[in-house]
Amino acid sequence: MSENTAVTGTAFDDAKKQLRAAQEILGFSDDDYELLATPRRELSVAIPVRRDDGTREVLHGYRVQHNLTRGPGKGGTRYAEDVDMEEVRALSMLMTWKCALLNLPYGGAKGGVAFDPTKYSEAERERITRRYVAEILPIIGPEVDIPAPDVGTDAQTMAWFMDTYSTAVGYTAPGIVTGKPVSLGGSVGRAEATSLGVFITTREAIKHLGLEIEGATATVQGFGKVGRDAAIFMDKAGMKVVAISDVYGAIYNADGIDTQALAKHVDETGKVVDFPGAEAMDPDEVLLLDVDAVVPAAVEGVITADNADRIKAKVVIEAANGPTTAGGDEILNNKGIMVVPDILANSGGVLVSYYEWVQSRDNFWWDLERVQAHQEEAMMSVWNDVVAFAEEKDITMRQAAVAMAVERVLDAHHMRGLFP
């Protein structure tokens, strides 16, 4: 599970606009705004790497801890060419709100390395990961800041994280990261947790709009670690996923795509195009089809002031982090299109990461039924709270979710006080 914009400003500017909107709703002071708008700690590191051919290059990595008032930092690590400090700042702030919205005992953090992992061998990715961990090691730890997978990283990456950290401290420390392989203390249900959360919020949004799940239509932009399982969950529930895209192209079937067959096709070919159960379509049109729900599950900044007016769906489910820019969000709001914000829609991942962290600390492991039952209960509770707050204040779902989260962080800050 992730911020560029098509309007003037950066992803961090958009994140601060959301915070400013929360200030208008809650009425807190400018001093409190500055406190919440300023990341607590930022680290930029150089990562020298030796390529397989013997050449060397230097990559750039980042880790930002936005706010630690409610607990240790929590947030993913992404590997992508466009990773920069501004993006990581924005994502760390969103993680603060996401954790607070779910009432988890975490603050918000995020990290990343600026490179395309598909252009590097597995051995090179391992060396990059281990050096990155060594560089950020002074500011991470099971009680300090707990990384997790994100775009371009996976359970194997987290295994390298854990091993490198454990070697440095002299003992095995499974709680240093979440999203690990189950064989190394990971949690069952973590791999599909973000996708399940996307499905739960999609299901509830469809019901909230007075529609039936059976036969409801959707499109999914992105068929990676989040979009893939989210589409399969929707399909199994009786929804028609009529269009799906990835970085190589897009496919369409008005009667609904067989998502499990598509998953097998992608496993074999690496892309959704040329799937025999659908026809090719323009990827730019996937978010613009006349369906009940559109699910941007790929990258940030895809719904902008340039295309938001052409969106026809009844609801946008933000499976990706920051897929809607501030300009796009305003247009959707003016059109009366419901937007389920990222800090709610894709929060299943950090929720089950918390369950993994708890299991690591207790050395007691839950079964899948227990994990998913807890996830369903927690996400339904948050969904109902956000809907009720939005209706009470006559505000959008995003404004409600962020305001609720900000209020919890501020309450904790005021109780702790300011040192010294």
Q: Which residues are annotated as a binding site for NAD(+)?
A: 194
Cα distances (Å, whole numbers) of residue 372 to 33, 105, 117, 235, 237? 36, 20, 31, 18, 16
Known binding-site positions: 74, 98, 194, 353
Positions at the binding site for substrate: 74, 98, 353
Rounded-to-integer distance, Cα 185 and Cα 197, Å: 22
Choose among 116, 117, 124, 174: nearest CA to 148.
174
Both tokens of 308, joined, read: 């938001």
Helix-helix angle 397-416:11-26, to 10 degrees: 80
Cα–Cα dist 202/199, whole Å: 5
Tokens, residue 390: 């939005």
Give me the residues paired with residue 112 across strands. 62, 78
Residue 336 CA to residue 376 CA, distance in Å, equals 28
Catalytic site positions: 110
Residue 30, by phi and psi: left (phi above 0), alpha (psi -120 to 50) or beta?
Answer: alpha
- Provide the token pair at 41: 């700690």
CA nearest to 128, candidates 110, 141, 116, 142? 116
Q: Which of 295, 221, 300, 299 is nearest to 14 (CA)?
A: 300
User: Among 254, 255, 220, 260, which Cα is nearest to 236's?
Assistant: 260
CB atoms within 10 A of CB 372: 19
Alpha-carbon distances, residue 409 vs 35, 87, 143, 418 (angstroms): 11, 22, 18, 14
Cis amide leading into 149 (omega within 30): no
CA-CA distance, 238 to 79, in Å (whole number)? 35
Q: What angle do CA 158, 162, 167 make, to 5 degrees?
A: 150
